[in-house]
A and B are shown apart, each in its own frame.
Chain A
């Protein structure tokens, strides 16, 4: 019996080690840093050239679209617009379709990379705008009074 258990354990260890290694290597390629604007600005040096998901809020009135193209430029800030204090601000460039939910004040997650000029370039289809009222997340639906 013990002999059998040793065999099973050895197999399990080898298999999990193999899977662990594969997981680790693929994770290195696949994983992306998820950072808020403030963090990106302060850790800019260490994030250069890495894949980053940037979380922020679109500053109203900064969205520029080159006529007859899908090129966009806009600015995001760290804190929600209604918070008053904006936090750090970054300039974003993007070419592609923007989701319906993309507009001023929208909470967005942008997938892309930092550019050398201090901005952020978003990958194609890399704009994810959170819809505040999908289902009943905070903000969209009337905030329940009394709670």
Chain B
């Protein structure tokens, strides 16, 4: 079996090489057949890697200890689940798992984009296969997971490290690797765009979604790692700025920056060089992170161990990536020049995005620098200096707060330029929310300035987001005449990316709330004789007894701790230390006992024990608000999910159900369940949702449906006969009502012009004598309104608050709001 595995890896390497060469040659010569064969080869690699994966998992399941890797990572008694996860438990297997994921991801990405981005695909294939080749090379010559023992195979393996035998650790690496590997796809498309010179925004569209998916997995992987550290490493925290953690968070920073700056390029065609750079950097940092954790360059408790040869190979690869990619960027600079590179104003959303990008990039560089600092200082001065978590915190705390502030600031600023009036109107509520929160907290006696600032900013961001949802829903309610909740659902459904993004921001706020809770953490260690108790915060804990419990795989020493709060016993907790049979000459695993509540966690660690006297030293940690971090990640995933929903999600949902009512109810119930759980479904019955297009009752309706375009702004102004969005459904109903009231064609048009406040709903402007006059009327009305608004706005900005609101101001404000809304919803 082992030789089959090695053979598969070797042939994958060869096929990869073929894929790279044939697609490049095919693209140069314009040979469709060569390109197709390259794509085929890429699929083949995925297939080969799948078989190789099957082979190694089979080896784990059948306890084939003649393979060294299996012997080192598994044992006969290991639970089935952990036998499978052992696949990525060690260095060699993790590289193989990496290649497997990359080959699958790459194939899917190529398959999806094959037709849409024909000109890019050959180079995408070439890039992906080159990256695969590198990792396959690592395995074949250096870290082959299929290496067998030259001596007789051992009777049993040593088993997976006990610390890794944990549910979270089983799913953390796949999630993190998926995130890392996913970042290869945007890189491949970016490179392809650079090589071919197709530098319009189409490559961005291809990778936006991918980056989002990869980012989601990366975030999720980070969270799983944090939960694992919190539950298993038993030190009471979840983030210690360890090099391995840092390595994982580096690409997260740049990917987050990219997801923001990509919007600026879409809207304003700015930051093109910047975006390509971010994509390249993100990919580079994934490789850099892999290098850090696997080469032993930095000291870490989690690292895989020293390996100078691996370090050299990785360094070479990284140099090649940087030289090649940035060489291409420089070569293509003339093509990348932005059409409008100047910012209109520093008080604009572009500027906020730019600031966000700089800070995120700074985070990445700072963390990279501080992580590498020991190595750097040794190389430069000869003395190894290190920096610890306090140094990171000193820097990352203020930076994090600024980022949080920008999260709230961005949505408040308009694109291009914000006027003073605009700013006052936008900032009133959020700033108010912040002040009220700060006042309330200060009155309650909170003093920690960093935590206070954080809570205040959280309130600021939350009010901003709330205001965005509220105003959007109000405008939509007015336009569609539905109730608020319906309007809210419609709003999110129509601008999934934008409102999904806001939900992600809410998640981020919750995470920051959790971080701020850290400021109030209590951590006390004390020796407890049997029956003795100690008090930390609101909790009193008592050492009842210490027992030894034995199961087949391990022997555990368990302390029985009674927990009291307010004089009453609320719980009994069992912190423990477990010695694994197969790891007897290794230290036992400390199993912390955690009592989770939303306000705070009680975290007990059995630090040491004396079975004779039953005395224990107990580490008691009270961790306020920790669970908000996990909740925040949940919301972040939910928001990303909404942003990722395909445009046609709702129409799919509808197409499968016969009658519109049933469909509406079904989708509404699903949406309601997603949002608020079952109790909300009563409301959801009213949800107005995009329907399948009803058949026109007569010729007039049929004709007019073609003449009128949907005004929702997200569907490229499609005719009512085609558009399936909710707005179109509403407009079809309006049209039906007009026809039913017996009006003729022109009357309907005029009446709709009045209703919709302009001619924008018409697919093509009508150009007939009489109609021009009819049209003029609302236009005059609108023009007067606009001039009125301008005059009022000018007088406001000139004379401050002395001018009274004129009669038509509310109406104009509403117009403005709608205009703003439509402008904002241009995606």
Contacts and interface: CB of A to CB of B under 8 A. Distances in A.
Interface string A66-91: 00111000000000000000000000
A132 B306 CA distance: 12
B301 A130 contact: yes
Interface string A129-147: 0111111111011101110
Interface string A83-111: 00000000000001111111100000101
A106 B826 CA distance: 62
A26 interface: yes
Main secondary structure of the interface of A (DSSP, over half): loop
B554 to A, nearest CB: 14
B64 to A, nearest CB: 16
Main secondary structure of the interface of B (DSSP, over half): mixed
Nearest to B366: A23
Contact of B388 (A32, A68, A102): A32
Contact of A97 (B384, B391, B608): B608
B525 A34 contact: no
A99 B608 CA distance: 9
B303 A137 contact: yes
A122 interface: no
A106 B525 CA distance: 23
Given A100-B587, A137-B304, A145-B151, A30 B387 contact: yes
Contacts, number: 111
A45 interface: no
A101 B587 contact: yes
Nearest to B293: A135
A68 B617 CA distance: 9
A21 interface: no
Given A33-B383, A34-B374, A135 B161 contact: yes
B163 interface: yes
A97 B388 contact: no
Contacts of A18: none
Interface string B299-311: 1011111100000
A144 B67 CA distance: 11
Contact of B586 (A29, A109, A131): A131
Given A26-B395, A135-B91, A141-B158, A70 B587 contact: no
B301 A131 contact: yes
A134 B73 CA distance: 11
Given A131-B587, A146-B150, A33 B384 contact: yes
Contact of B150 (A35, A98, A140, A145): A145
A103 B579 CA distance: 15
Interface residues of B, number: 53
B176 to A, nearest CB: 15
A97 B525 contact: yes
B72 A100 contact: no
Interface in B56-78: 68, 71-73
A84 B315 CA distance: 35
Contacts of A41: none
B384 A35 contact: yes
A144 to B, nearest CB: 6
A100 B589 contact: yes
A138 B608 contact: no
B768 interface: no
A141 B72 contact: yes
A132 B301 CA distance: 9
Contacts of A102: 587
B583 interface: yes
B118 interface: no
B607 A34 contact: no
B577 A133 contact: no
Given A33-B386, A68-B615, 17 more contacts: A27-B387, A27-B391, A34-B386, A53-B386, A68-B529, A96-B525, A97-B525, A97-B608, A97-B617, A100-B590, A131-B586, A132-B586, A134-B302, A135-B305, A137-B305, A137-B306, A145-B150
Interface of A: 19, 26-27, 29-35, 53, 68-70, 96-103, 109, 111, 128, 130-138, 140-142, 144-146
28 contacts: A29-B391, A31-B373, A31-B377, A31-B385, A32-B385, A33-B383, A33-B384, A34-B374, A34-B378, A34-B384, A34-B385, A34-B386, A35-B384, A69-B527, A96-B525, A97-B608, A99-B587, A100-B588, A101-B586, A109-B299, A128-B301, A131-B301, A136-B73, A137-B305, A141-B72, A141-B158, A144-B68, A145-B149
Interface of B: 68, 71-73, 89-91, 147, 149-151, 154, 158, 161, 163, 299, 301-306, 362, 373-374, 377-378, 383-388, 390-391, 394-395, 525, 527, 529, 577, 583, 586-590, 605, 607-608, 615, 617, 619
The 9 A-B pairs at the shortest CB distance, nearest first, are namely A137-B305, A30-B391, A100-B587, A34-B384, A97-B607, A146-B150, A31-B385, A135-B304, A101-B587
